[in-house]
Structure 1
Amino acid sequence: MTKRDFFRIIIKVFGLYSMFLALFTFLPSTLSNVVIYKGEVWMILTILGSILLIIALFFILLFKSDFIIDKLGLDKGFDDDKLIFGDFKNEQIFKLAILLIAGFMIIDNVPNFMFEVINIFKYKVSHKPIYGHEVNYFNFFSSIVNIIIGFIFINNYKSISSYLDKK
């Protein structure tokens, strides 16, 4: 593997991780702000601007990684052109990264899901939520969606990694 390939993989994995992080944390919280501010124009414009900026950043990170490597000169200044990682190939590194990202999505959202289930159950039984917390169906459904998407990524990690490995 060349150092250019290594930096290309690192940039794409970072872009993929950032995309999931923003998609499943930033977007739900901003959508809840639209509800809180009752759809005021300045809030909608701020959210649309943020979403367009995030989409542009992800497009650059995922599909223009060579441009970033050239502009930052990441592959310059090394003694050797080759990096030796043993038997790892690009697609295997992508598979590992996708499995880690999906695992983090599941691990991060299972506690929220369980807390919301217990809180909703307590509210349904006694008409009082857990002390200091309100019943939040938005967090409940957001954690369900994140867990499901994590499992979908774990089940389809081979096809996703082959898609990301295209040059």
Structure 2
Amino acid sequence: MTKRDFFRILIKIFGLYSLILSIFTVIPQNISNVLFQFDIMMLLVILASTIISVGMFLVLLFKSDFIIDKLKLDKGFDDDKIIVGNLTNESILKLAFIIIGGFLIIDYLPAVLFDLINAFKTKSTFTSIEGNNVNYFDIVTGLVNILLGYLFITNYKSISQFLDKKQG
């Protein structure tokens, strides 16, 4: 594997992670803002942030060679090859899905647990934790992200094989 291939894979993994975060974090949070207080300016901000997120994903996924050339990421190394042993594209994708799934679970589990405790407290005592209102939309979004992270971790082999077949 060359340094260029390594940076190409790294940029594409980051692009995939940014797409997952924008689909399951940025868009749902902005939709909940529009639902609670509709404003044309807020709608334009949501549209712009969605277009920027999707545009960043597309650039990272399809223009990784351009990014490597402009930032000169593959220059200045003593050797052009990276010795990785038996590490293939599929094994790198497997590792990426395990890491992304772990990040999704780690990022959302504490917030979902806090929101569930707050919702339970509100239902049982009719008062929420001071300064925190119950937002069921955030609970559902967090649960979806945790489920997606779990599915990434448990199905990383089949997902990486599917994506590796699409590349080749």
TM-score per shorter chain, which class?
0.7 to 0.9
The residue aligned with 2:8 is: 8
CA RMSD of aligned residues (A): 1.9
Give the 3-state SS of the residue equivalent to 2:160 in structure 1: helix
The answer for the alignment partner of 1:24 in structure 2 is 24
What does residue range 99-138 of structure 1 map to in structure 2 within 5 Å? 99-138=98-137
8 Å contact from structure 2 (residues 12, 61) kept in 1: yes
Kindly state the Cα deviation for residue 140 of structure 1 after the two structures are TM-superposed.
0.9
- Counterpart of 2:34? 34
User: What number of residue pairs does the alignment pair up?
Assistant: 166
Query: Cα 1:159–1:68, aligned 2, differ >3 Å: closer, same or farther?
Result: farther
% identical equivalent positions: 55
- Aligned position for 2:63: 64
Higher mean C-alpha displacement, 107-116 vs 140-149: 107-116
**1:43 counterpart residue number:** 42
C-alpha deviation, 1:96, in angstroms: 0.8
Shift of 1:83: 0.8
| Matches of 1:162 and 1:3, distance apart in 2 | 23
Contact 2:112-2:139 within 8 A present in 1 as well: yes
Q: Supply the distance in 2 between the matched residues of 1:62 and 1:15 (Cα, whole angstroms).
A: 6
Aligned ranges 1:74-113 → 2 under 5 Å? 74-113=73-112
Residues of 2 paired with 1:130 and 1:92: CA distance? 45
| Aligned equivalent of 2:54 | 55
Q: CA deviation at 1:52?
A: 1.1
Whole-angstrom CA distance in 1 between matches of 2:63 and 2:162: 15
Deviations 1:59-108 (A, max 9, x none): 11122212222333322333322111232222212211210110111122
Residue 164 of structure 1, CA deviation: 4.5
Q: Determine the C-alpha separation between the residues in 2 that align with 1:71 and 1:161.
A: 29
Match of 1:146 in 2: 145
Give me the whole-angstrom Cα distance separating, in 2, the residues matched to 1:12 and 1:163: 16
- State the 1:114 CA deviation: 1.6
- The TM-score, its normalising length taken from structure 1, stands at 0.87
Instruction: Classify the secondary structure of the residue corresponding to 2:111.
Output: helix
Q: CA deviation at 1:14?
A: 1.4
Q: Which has the higher mean CA deviation after the structures are superposed, 82-91 or 140-149? A: 82-91
